[in-house]
Amino acid sequence: MCGRFAITMPNDAMAQLFRAAPANALPEVPNFNVCPTTQVHVVTSEVNARRLGSMRWGFVPQWYKTPTDGPLLINARAETVADKAAFKAAVRTRRCLIPATGFYEWTKDADGNRLPWYIYPKDGDLLAFAGIWQVWDKGEEPMQTCAIVTTAANTAMSKIHHRMPVVVTEADWPLWLGEAGHGAARLMQAAPEDAMALHRVGRTVNSNRASGPQLIEPLEDQEASPNS
């Protein structure tokens, strides 16, 4: 799964990278602790033009009477996304990219303590998670919501967690966004074994209120710091 991530690229640089027109109001960056139900950056393709906008991370199906009327849908499984009632229309016609610098996962020690890890691209490039989106219009104002598509982890990642986000490479952005015809289903697979790096980070990030660049620093660097 993917339940927390970081995004550090400035909004103007993000818009330039994706060749997308930026919305007037975008989430603040850098954010080293992006949490579910908050607004996240989302790239969509609309009438032959890309848009960098903002959506609530937490997909809300049309039949929910309120945003909390059912489970919080922050992820959609690649293996079942085309069949699930909540997601099947979106994966056909409303696919998006969700930019990230890296993401977090957790293991547990012998005492059950949650030990966070930070996973990021080895080449330093920005990640583009495969996403789907939905407008929920049962409230006072329509709400744009999204979920991250996940798949079975590759061997390296499986040592930490059995799931990981689907990462779309730049060459495949047009296909996932629906700009390059059909066949996006083939993109819903794990990143190559050598594409990602990971390291343990401090348990401060276990709190959804934590912030700051220290959240992604390797644990051994923090322990060696005179201020740790």
Residue 224's pLDDT band, with cuts at 50, 70 and 90, is: very low
pLDDT per position as a tens digit, 175-185: 999 999 899 99
Give, for 132, the enclosing helix (H) or strand (E): strand 127-136
Residue 226's pLDDT band, with cuts at 50, 70 and 90, is: very low
Query: How far is residue 188's CA from residue 174's CA, in Å, rounded to a whole number?
Result: 14
Task: State whether the Cα torsion 86-92-93-99 is positive or negative.
Answer: positive
- Within 8 A by CB and 6+ apart from 223, the residues are none
Query: How far is residue 36's CA from residue 39's CA, in Å, rounded to a whole number?
Result: 8
Q: Look at residue 82 in the predicted model and tell me its pLDDT.
A: 97
Left (φ > 0), alpha (ψ -120 to 50) or beta: where does 183 sit? left
Active-site residue 140, yes or no? Answer: no
Q: Of the residues 96, 105, 141, 193, which is catalytic?
A: 105
Tell me, rounded to whole angstroms, the distance of Cα 24 from its chain centroid: 21
For the cut 80, the answer to whether the pLDDT of residue 228 exceeds it is no
For the cut 70, the answer to whether the pLDDT of residue 216 exceeds it is yes
pLDDT per position as a tens digit, 11-31: 999 999 999 999 999 999 999
How many folded domains does the chain comprise? 1
The closest of 82, 81, 85, 79 to 64, measured between CA atoms, is 85
Query: How far is residue 151's CA from residue 195's CA, in Å, rounded to a whole number?
Result: 15
Kindly report the average pLDDT of the chain as a whole number: 94
Q: Look at residue 47 in the predicted model and tell me its pLDDT.
A: 84
Average pLDDT over residues 163-181: 97
List Cα–Cα distances, 2 to 46, 119, 129, 139, 220, in angstroms: 26, 11, 10, 27, 24
- Exposure string of 112-141, with b = 16+ CB inside 10 Å and e = fewer, is eeebbbbbbbeeeebbbbbbbbbebeeeee
Global pTM reads 0.95
Q: Which ranges constitute the DSSP H helices of the chain?
A: 11-18, 88-93, 155-158, 173-176, 219-224
Query: How far is residue 38's CA from residue 134's CA, in Å, rounded to a whole number?
Result: 15
Residue 149's pLDDT band, with cuts at 50, 70 and 90, is: very high
CATH at 212 = 3.90.1680.10
Residue type, 126: L
Q: Look at residue 84 in the predicted model and tell me its pLDDT.
A: 97
What is the span of the domain harbouring residue 66?
5-224
Q: Of the residues 2, 79, 141, 193, which is catalytic?
A: 2
pLDDT per position as a tens digit, 84-109: 999 999 999 999 999 999 999 999 99
Active-site residue 2, yes or no? Answer: yes
Q: Look at residue 54 in the predicted model and tell me its pLDDT.
A: 98
Residue 161 sits at φ, ψ, to 5 deg, of -150, 150
